[in-house]
Structure 1
């Protein structure tokens, strides 16, 4: 099946590379506009409130800012940390965004990735994933137009309902990293699944778990597990040569790895190695991602297809390992050389070139002879008129 491509943008702006929030946001905007021009399918925008690196607190606000700055690319919350919010307000914002974006909106849901976020508002880490499953059931009921009465230690709903129907049948996806929480919620409600960091060493093992849960549980709730609705996300940085790519990520790879090792309390998404060289090797050899060439990116996605049994979309995790201009070039190389391999968009072009090449000897000779004959005929007519 033809793959779709996009980005999963936390976004990561490590202080170690010297960040100004205003210019960091401008780079995020520019990257999505660049992707829109290049033909990427979608961009998912994160929600984070602490740690000084993942700087967007409200993906809905950012998406609406981007709406009139883009033409084609779909924009999604990637993801809304559902236990932090009243599900009724999330449903209302999603329906509103869907209507304003006229079919370009996507809704992504998760339990919340940063333990510091949950801790600041008194949500127990031990209860967070269960809360997400519970709240997702409520959210889906509200989106279906049902009336909901429910009370938890986070909110109270009394005969709650939304005011209008969706504008479109927008994608609703649940994020998963290492635990089965995401696929449990997605399979129960017929939603899409985003396996974030699924290319990491532990994530490779989680791929089979994620899809086993989807296939086992979906029929129990009247749904069918559909691989085209499965998105995998991983980081890449591409250049014309592997050596160039490695040199370019000297700018920000260490800062990103330091963040995952010493600031982000998430053992399932932690870099390995202390030296720059060790970290480059870890990215390329562990299965996490690619620092190298488009051919290496193709090999990575083919490996993931084989490992997972097939999926519908691949999302590039935005990371700023390299300077902005090199980052933009990486996405352009991906669009030019990697996407056609999995979308078949170059197949007819290749076929047309091969067909023309097979006819070259015959047609080149005939064309030359035809030109010579026309020239001779003109000369003959000219000499006849002068006689």
Structure 2
């Protein structure tokens, strides 16, 4: 019996150095989603950021609308919408509209907002971001299920609020909550029975928190009459693979230093390992897979074991390598890593082994069948046009297989 099919996708913040043309950078993000769709990736999650100049997409909903028109199969999610930045009714209405426009391909990922500078510009107290996320999420879940909601808050109000259109997806779009090291996201996912987006799953802290955060989510779910589904648990981490480890390491020297600069000097997320050689430090700490498809498979096996099982792995889009090498990395994942975790070749291997095990019998039968037709031709037309070696082979085979009188 086949096991569960691990899904694959991308988590696109995105990350673009400030020396690039931003218009072309966003265009390349759209091209990436198209490429993922062609390769058979299941999902792409698009971030929301408003400052610091590196993560350029301000509205994942606008991006998803454009990407949906350029793709056929891939599901598209907000990864994530920062709930304290929006009135819940307006955000729910936009997601519901996308649910209809994409015929159910949209997903809703939620979080408190990653950049303090975003909240600062809007006058949102940083210490209130997670509380506001929890409050907004409670009403968003109900709105996106088509319910009427009345709610009074110190930062938003709903009076008999209801979406105009019944949700396309039933009971609603799929929803997930971002989680990293703190239990905030896991608690919120459990309280509402939502999916979990574990960011930084390959960092030391994120990796070590996988099992505990899932335990927190399931505990909260039980307390609130909900259930957690491992298939709706997504792990996020960076990988870049090539035909050889040396090639992969060489590829990412193109842009890794700029990415490290952003996280070390600008963003308030401790994602950068220490070391004289940043490429080697990423490998040694296990933060990223920089190597071959076999290295990616080994790391995913570790994540499955540590977590106890999850539904999807999302590659963090990082732009460490040149565009051609980046596309090749995603292609190698689809060609050589997907099959291991999706059992794509189980039947092929079984069929091959069966034919191999019966090769002698099948070879004997085909020789008999071909030989019989040649003998028939010789009896009707003679052997003038038949090569002598073939005549000898057939007559010899016949003498071995026909009992002596």
Classify the TM-score, shorter chain. over 0.9
SS at 2:382's partner residue?
helix
Contact between 2:256 and 2:320, CA under 8 Å: does it hold in 1? yes
**RMSD of aligned alpha carbons:** 1.7
Q: Give the corresponding residue for 2:323.
A: 324
User: Hey, what's the Cα distance between the residues in 2 that align with 1:313 and 1:335?
Assistant: 14
- CA offsets 1:193-213 (integer angstroms, 9 cap, x no match): 100112101101221221111
SS at 1:122's partner residue?
coil
Q: Give the corresponding residue for 2:391.
A: none
Q: 1:217 aligns with which of 207, 216, 220?
A: 220
Q: Give the corresponding residue for 2:285.
A: 286
User: Hey, what's the Cα distance between the residues in 2 that align with 1:378 and 1:262?
Assistant: 84
Tell me how far 1:50 sits from its aligned partner: 1.0
User: Hey, what's the Cα distance between the residues in 1 that align with 2:187 and 2:165?
Assistant: 28
User: Hey, what's the Cα distance between the residues in 1 that align with 2:287 and 2:166?
Assistant: 40
Q: Give the corresponding residue for 2:20.
A: 19
Q: 1:207 aligns with which of 206, 210, 225?
A: 210
Q: Give the corresponding residue for 1:157.
A: 158
Distance 1:274 1:255, change over 3 A: farther
Tell me how far 1:87 sits from its aligned partner: 0.5
User: Hey, what's the Cα distance between the residues in 2 that align with 1:376 and 1:257?
Assistant: 75
Distance 1:274 1:262, change over 3 A: farther
**Which structure ranks higher in relative contact order (CA pairs < 8 Å, sequence separation ≥ 6)?**
1
Contact between 2:253 and 2:279, CA under 8 Å: does it hold in 1? no
Q: Give the corresponding residue for 1:344.
A: 343
Q: How does 1:60-139 map to 2 (within 5 A)?
A: 60-139=61-140
Distance 1:285 1:385, change over 3 A: closer
SS at 1:68's partner residue?
helix
User: Hey, what's the Cα distance between the residues in 2 that align with 1:143 and 1:56?
Assistant: 24
Contact between 1:289 and 1:300, CA under 8 Å: does it hold in 2? no
Q: Give the corresponding residue for 1:335.
A: 334
Tell me how far 1:352 sits from its aligned partner: 1.3
Bigger drift between 143-152 and 238-247 goes to 143-152
- CA offsets 1:246-289 (integer angstroms, 9 cap, x no match): 0111111111111111111123xx211354x3x22232222322
Structure 2: 5+ residue runs without aligned partners? 386-405
TM-score, with length taken from structure 2: 0.90
Bigger drift between 374-383 and 169-178 goes to 374-383
Q: 2:191 aligns with which of 188, 197, 211?
A: 188
- CA offsets 1:327-378 (integer angstroms, 9 cap, x no match): 1110110011111101111111111111121122222233234323322321
Q: 1:255 aligns with which of 250, 255, 258?
A: 258
Q: Select the structure of larger CA radius of gyration.
A: 2
User: Hey, what's the Cα distance between the residues in 2 that align with 1:383 and 1:2?
Assistant: 60
TM-score, with length taken from structure 1: 0.94
Tell me how far 1:43 sits from its aligned partner: 0.6
Structure 1: 5+ residue runs without aligned partners? none
Tell me how far 1:54 sits from its aligned partner: 0.7
Bigger drift between 127-136 and 281-290 goes to 281-290
Tell me how far 1:384 sits from its aligned partner: 9.2
SS at 2:234's partner residue?
strand
SS at 1:174's partner residue?
strand
Q: Give the corresponding residue for 1:371.
A: 370
How many residues get paired?
A: 380
User: Hey, what's the Cα distance between the residues in 1 that align with 2:264 and 2:183?
Assistant: 24
SS at 2:52's partner residue?
coil
User: Hey, what's the Cα distance between the residues in 2 that align with 1:146 and 1:310?
Assistant: 33
Tell me how far 1:379 sits from its aligned partner: 2.6
User: Hey, what's the Cα distance between the residues in 2 that align with 1:301 and 1:199?
Assistant: 10
Contact between 2:146 and 2:167, CA under 8 Å: does it hold in 1? no
